[in-house]
Amino acid sequence: MKKINFSVNKSTLLSGYLANFNPEIFEDILEIAYESVIAGNEKVSNIVKSEPTLFSKNTLKSLLLNNAMIDIFKTRILTNEKTKHRVKFFETFRMTFALVDNKFFLCFKALGKENVIEGMKTKRFEDIIKGKPFSMSQKMSKEISKLNLTDLPPILFVGFKKTTDFIDFINLQYYFDEKIALEVTMRNAATSNKLDIIKPKNLNNDDDASLAI
């Protein structure tokens, strides 16, 4: 497993589950999330290159990429003795949420042009970026109620910026009042002193980042 460095880019005064948030407490889980983004992108890039006509639409590639990352993350979490009892997975409205230590949800999401998540203008999306409790399916609601939580945990996005075949960077983001309230950059410790952490950037990005919410 790669050793990941965490760098806090922005942190407002947070309360509740995210008060005094320290990513190093969740290092093993966040490292798996980081690796899942890289591995998922590599897997999908190879698939797309093998069938370029079949995957010519960006929307399809984005959906495939998100699913690959989630699948790898879930598999690695549940086959790891140190993490499998700390993360619970929930499905709702074609979304997968990973509840970590009953404190916050992790959700994989591509970052758009302004390096923030983008989504369809639905009430669910608006609630999420305002930091409000989000709507969920009856099944997920019933499963969450069994945990006897004091409040619905917030969502931390594993936000990844992809501009060509490669991932430029990965940021952990929490949104409140329609702005980023917490942002932590996750970097491979072996290359964290380099300007371009994963691969060189290309600003000509036409990929669809607005899926999945």
pLDDT tens profile 32-86: 999 999 999 999 999 988 888 877 777 788 889 999 999 999 999 999 999 999 9
| Residue 75, number of CB atoms within 10 A of its CB | 12
Quote the domain boundaries for residue 169.
4-13+24-191
Report d(CA 46, CA 60) in Å as an integer. 15
Question: Which tokens is 135 given?
Answer: 């709507």
Kindly state whether residue 87 falls inside one of the protein's structural domains.
Answer: yes
Kindly state whether residue 47 falls inside one of the protein's structural domains.
Answer: yes
In terms of average pLDDT, the best of 17-31, 74-88, 136-150 is 74-88
| 17, 99 contact by CB (below 8 A) | no
Kindly state whether residue 148 falls inside one of the protein's structural domains.
Answer: yes
pLDDT of residue 137 exceeding 80, the answer is yes
Instruction: Provide the percentage of residues in the chain whose pLDDT is more than 90.
Output: 58
Kindly state whether residue 109 falls inside one of the protein's structural domains.
Answer: yes
Kindly state whether residue 205 falls inside one of the protein's structural domains.
Answer: no
Query: Among 30-39, 94-103, 163-172, 197-206, which is the least confidently predicted range?
Result: 197-206
Kindly state whether residue 174 falls inside one of the protein's structural domains.
Answer: yes
Question: What torsion do the CA atoms of 137, 95, 180, 76 make, to the nearest 10 degrees?
Answer: 120
Q: Strand 179-188: give its sheet, edge to edge.
A: 4-11, 179-188, 167-176, 155-162, 104-110, 95-100, 87-92
**The total number of structural domains that make up the chain:** 1
Query: For residue 122, what are the contacts with CB-CB under 8 A and spacing of at least 6?
Result: 213
Question: Which tokens is 26 given?
Answer: 């969740």
Kindly state whether residue 81 falls inside one of the protein's structural domains.
Answer: yes
Kindly state whether residue 18 falls inside one of the protein's structural domains.
Answer: no
The alpha-helical segments, DSSP class H, found in the chain are 27-50, 58-78, 123-129, 138-145
Report d(CA 158, CA 167) in Å as an integer. 12
Query: Among 26-35, 132-141, 169-178, 195-204, which is the least confidently predicted range?
Result: 195-204
